[in-house]
Structure 1
Amino acid sequence: MSSSKAPYYYVPGPTRHPIVTSIGLAGFGFGASSWVNGSTFGMILCLAGIVWTIASLYSWFGDAISEAEGGLNSVNVDVSYRWSMSWFIFSEIMFFGAFFSALFYARSIAMPWLADIDNKLLWPDFAAVWPNAGPAGLVDSFTTMGPWPIPTINTALLLLSGVTVTWAHHALREGKRQQVIQGLAATVALGAIFMGFQVYEYIHAYNDLNLKLTSGIYGSTFFMLTGFHGFHVTMGAIMLFVVLIRVMKGHFTPENHFAFEGAAWYWHFVDVVWLGLYVVVYWM
């Protein structure tokens, strides 16, 4: 990788990538929302949006990598990248904070309010017990998801992946490329195993526990929190896999490897979010 000693702040020229990627994300968003609401074209639009977005990002990040390897990125650009990734992770914290807040509101505010004396005339049989099927009792009976064994195993997997990615980072700073490759490969593999267990957990929830996205506020918050976290694990694993390929191509040096650091920051964020999920969703 270039030593990035460019004496200026490189500003790329006009590019199609932001608008092209936005089109793909819009298709994905509209398609996903239509899909969960039973639209016939929702699945096709969602999948097409995913493919479109992946193709756009492949081209976009390819250009960014070429700029970095061409020695166009100065120290100022590196600082810009670090601030950008920091704000991106902050926005993700706020994203998950909204869902955790929704769960807190439902359990600690809405349920006690519906069960108080003022609402007994409307909902005489409602009890402020979690999980809850709602005051109207329209939700089919279901069984909650406990912390054992899969959630606990997944917790161990993510904690171990945090160790392996840190090991890879220290190896990169010491110039030990083979250890970097081993650490990153182990981290990506652990992320893939995590997702495999989560897929199995979802199948078990739907088929054996009758726990679905429509299972009241418990079902909706469970699948929204764990599902979005699983999506982030998938994205983080893809980021680390790309970094792994770049390490194998010799793109990084002990002094200049922010792409690795940015992906590692994201992965540690995913780990921390899971610890919150593990406690709040599976234990409480």
Structure 2
Amino acid sequence: MSSTTHGSTPYYFVPGPSRHPAMAALGLFFVILGAGQWVNGVQWGKYSLFAGLIWWLGVLYQWFGDAIKESQGGQYGRKIDLSFRWSMSWFIFSEVMFFGAFFTALWWARSHSVPALGSLDNSMLWPGFKAVWPSLAAGVTASPAGTVEPFTTMGPWPLPTINTALLLSSGVTLTIAHHALLAGKRSKTIGFMWMTVLLGITFLCVQGYEYHHAYTELNLKLSSGVYGSTFFMLTGFHGFHVLVGMLMLLFITLRLQKGHFSADNHFGFEGAAWYWHFVDVVWLGLYVLVYWL
């Protein structure tokens, strides 16, 4: 059992037995089962996937709700706050490794794989192959074997640059909201948080239009060789992280409107802010390495 030191706040809160982990695992089981069957042409797979996903999201809603009630009930003391900070730090570190692997794949393809395919050893297999990264020279996107259709690379202007401005602006509005919360100005905090959420939604809309433009006008697809696969892999996973971060900020904003968080107790806000700033930093690297180089 937890021992209490100050008032009713436990020194270290130990929650009681919970059904949530088992229920979440059950939902994920049907998600993975359905996905595996769906990609192999089994029609009931998609129903299993969506049913499992709905079940899993419902469990998370209840689970997070219980955690919020515990927090608002004064059950989380300094030790829990510290454990949350370490947990979020390690989670963001794992995300750094996640994107680091993809950036390494991009570097390896550009610096090693493509030059190796254009070496003397492979000149007889692909005599018309140009060992140049597609964004560095025009007319080198089509493969000699005809397996990749000609496509146009995606440049930095205007859509990626617009999205860069949107994300950088969202980082500013989020920082203003944080300082407003520290100063006890809840209305100002909520206003700038809504601005941050709207900037994140706008980013996703612009990226959706960018993908439509790539597929319909540039003929740039996921099947467009290693350039297409790395382009959509990096930008797509980043877009997914923007979606997750935007949802985190949205729920934090709704909690602020309910009176949650204070100047002294608001790690839920801080954790979401850490994640969003991480997403901003990743985009800056992606903007330079994918769109400019």
> Could you tell me the TM-score, scaled by structure 2's length?
0.89
Residue of 270, 276, 287 corresponding to 1:278: 287
CA positional deviation for 1:122: 2.5
- How much identity, in percent, do the aligned residues show? 62
* 1:114-143: CA deviation from partner (whole Å, max 9, x where unpaired): 111122222222221112555644111111
- 5 Å-filtered alignment, 1:50-65, equals 50-65=53-68
DSSP-derived class of the 1:146 partner:
coil
Which residue number corresponds to residue 9 of structure 1?
12
Q: Give 2:228's aligned amino acid.
A: G
Deviations 1:125-172 (A, max 9, x none): 222111255564411111111111111000000000000000000000
Does 2:79 align with 1:76? yes
Give the aligned CA root-mean-square deviation in angstroms: 2.2
What CA distance in whole angstroms lies between the structure 1 residues aligned with 2:101 and 2:279? 16
* Deviation, structure 1 residue 108: 0.7
* Structure 1 match to 2:273: 264
Q: 1:278 to 1:43 in 2, by over 3 A?
A: farther
2-structure distance, mates of 1:113, 1:45: 44
Give the stretch that moved more between structures: 85-94 or 114-123. Answer: 114-123
Counterpart of 2:175 in structure 1 is 166
Relative to structure 1, is the Cα distance of residues 59 and 39 closer, same or farther in structure 2, using a 3 angstrom cutoff? Answer: same
- Greater shift in the superposed pair: 131-140 or 255-264: 131-140
* Structure 1 residues 22-33: aligned runs within 5 Å: 22-28=25-31
Aligned to 1:209: 218
CA contact (8 A) 1:35 1:42 kept: yes
Do residues 110 (structure 1) and 119 (structure 2) align? no
> More deviation in 6-15 or 74-83?
6-15
Q: Go from structure 1 to structure 2 and tell me whether the alpha carbon gap of 1:230 and 1:39 turns closer, same or farther (over 3 Å shift).
A: farther
Provide the rounded CA distance (Å) in 2 between the counterparts of 1:207 and 1:45: 32
Q: 1:177 to 1:70 in 2, by over 3 A?
A: same
Per-residue displacement from partner, 1:225-258 (whole Å, max 9, x unpaired)?
1111111111111111111111111111100000
Confirm or deny: 8 A CA contact 1:165 1:187 kept in the other structure.
yes
For 2:42 and 2:285, locate their aligned partners in 1 and report how far apart those are by CA, in whole Å: 34
Q: Structure 2 vs 1, CA of residues 207 and 29 (structure 1 numbering), >3 Å: closer, same or farther?
A: farther
Counterpart in the other structure of 1:127:
130
What is the one-letter code of the residue matched to 1:187? T
CA distance, structure 1, for counterparts of residue 25 and residue 144 of structure 2: 40
Tell me if 1:251 matches 2:260.
yes
Structure 2: state its 5+ residue gaps.
1-5, 135-140
Gap change, CA 1:245 and 1:88, over 3 Å in 2: same
Extract unaligned runs of 5+ from structure 1.
Answer: none
Whole-angstrom distance in 1 between the partners of 2:182 and 2:292 = 39
Which of 189, 204, 216 pairs up with 1:195? 204
Question: What amino acid sits opposite 1:79 in the alignment?
Answer: L
Q: Which residue of 2 aligns with 1:87?
A: 90
Shift of 1:35: 6.1
Q: Residue 232 of structure 1 corresponds to which residue in structure 2?
A: 241
Q: 1:111 to 1:196 in 2, by over 3 A?
A: same
Q: Higher relative contact order by CA 8 Å / sep ≥ 6: 1 or 2? A: 1
Counterparts of 2:172 and 2:181 in 1: how far apart (Å)? 14
Change (3 A) 1:127 1:5: farther
Displacement of 1:60: 1.2
Shift in alpha-carbon separation, 1:154–1:185, aligned structure 2, 3 A: same
Q: Is the 8 A contact 1:232 1:270 kept in 2?
A: yes
Cα distance change on mapping 1:4 and 1:29 into 2, 3 Å = farther
For 1:177, the aligned partner's letter is R
Rounded Cα–Cα distance in structure 1 between residues aligned with 2:111 and 2:275: 30
1:117 is aligned with what amino acid?
A: L
Q: Which amino acid aligns with 1:70?
A: G
Match of 2:229 among 211, 216, 220: 220
